[in-house]
Amino acid sequence: MQQVEADKLLLSIQQQLNDNTFDRSDRDLIERAIEGMGDPRGMVRLNFAQALERVGRAATPQLLEALRNHDDPVVRRASAKTLTLLADPEAVPVLIDAFLTDEDRVVRSSAVGALAETGEVSAPPLLEILADPAQSETAKGHAAWALAFMGRKIADLLYKAFESDVEEVRIAAIGAIATLVREQKDEKAFQLLCSSLTDDLVNIRIEAAALLGQVEDRRGVPGLVDSLRDSDGGVRKAAAMSLMKLGADETLSELRAVRDRELDESIQRVLALAVRQLEQKQTAE
């Protein structure tokens, strides 16, 4: 599409939308608007996307077709981003496929962004990705991010996922559950973090110890002090860092004692850093 043609088309569509005369059953017109999102001018692409957002979910079938099959990655990217604005549950299967298989990195990241905005209906397939050993660590990381983004919208699913037999699902779930504490001060979520300090799985204990340093609730301090004596060095390190982040200078005596008997030099350095930072905090006060 030539730029002059794109400009005329955009103006016409905007005018029809303003006049409430846009025919949402006009498949050809919607497809032409999607083609307009391949324009080399960024502002023109944005204006077409905004126009399609105003068209609403009537544009979903054509956007999905473009996301699946369009040769131009710019159009596929814009289609995924526009689907983010529409948050149509019907788009989830195609978005999952694009997220996992599209050759363009931006398309993949845009697809997972759309999944995050779509909400609860996206959560089960994202959890399946986390449980699938064939999926890449990158895909799992993006899936975990999307679940955390949804947060309180899928709280019940997150608690259920935390009971999974798959470690990676549990790790992603506890990371998302921590957002409930940070954003909603959710007491159930906070108590789950605290109880996870004694979980059977080392990586869950590490995650819990690290996350408690991010939620700014000092009620987690006693559990973190206990974690300084965990049999796993990663847990001890995460606990020390979280106590430092929380400014828990009342734990200095415990930190010094653990530092002095720690045999792992890398962990000892972290403990020493925590002691120094908290000592400085005390001095400043």
Query: Looking at the domain assignment, is residue 100 inside a domain?
Result: no
Structural domain contains residue 260: yes
Distance CA 216, CA 211 (A): 10
Shared-domain flag, residues 2 and 27: yes
Give yes or no: residues 148 and 250 share one domain: no
Residues 135 and 219 in one domain: no
Q: Which domain holds residue 257?
A: 185-285
Burial class (CB in 10 A: 0-12, 13-18, 19+), 270: buried
Residue 68 lies in a domain: yes
- Domain count along the chain: 3
194 and 272 assigned to the same domain:
yes
Residues 151 and 264 occupy one common structural domain: no
194-232 per-position pLDDT tens digit: 999 999 999 999 999 999 999 989 999 999 999 999 999
Does residue 101 sit within a domain?
Answer: no
Is residue 219 domain-shared with residue 137, that is, in the same domain?
A: no
The 10s digit of each residue's pLDDT in 144-188 is 999 999 988 899 999 999 999 999 999 999 999 999 998 888 999
Q: Per residue in 98-139, pLDDT tens?
A: 999 999 999 999 999 999 999 899 999 999 999 999 999 999
Does 243 lie in the same domain as 281? yes
Quickly list H helices, the chain: 3-19, 27-36, 42-55, 60-69, 73-86, 92-101, 105-118, 123-131, 137-150, 155-161, 167-184, 187-195, 202-212, 221-227, 233-245, 252-261, 265-284
In this predicted structure, what is the pLDDT of residue 176?
92
Q: Are residues 129 and 56 in the same domain?
A: no
With respect to residue 236, please indicate whether it lies within any of the assigned structural domains: yes
Q: State whether 165 and 234 are in the same domain.
A: no
Which pTM was predicted?
Answer: 0.82
Residue 149 included in any domain: yes
Each residue's pLDDT tens digit, 39-82: 999 999 999 999 999 999 999 999 999 999 999 999 999 999 99
Q: Which CATH number belongs to the domain containing residue 160 in this structure?
A: 1.25.10.10
139 shares its domain with 248: no
Residue 97 lies in a domain: no
Whole-Å CA distances, 166 to 112, 121, 128, 198: 22, 21, 10, 18
Confirm whether 96 is domain-assigned. no
The verdict on 9 and 87 lying in the same domain is yes
> Which of 178, 209, 226 finishes a domain?
178
Let me know whether 171 and 208 are in one domain. no
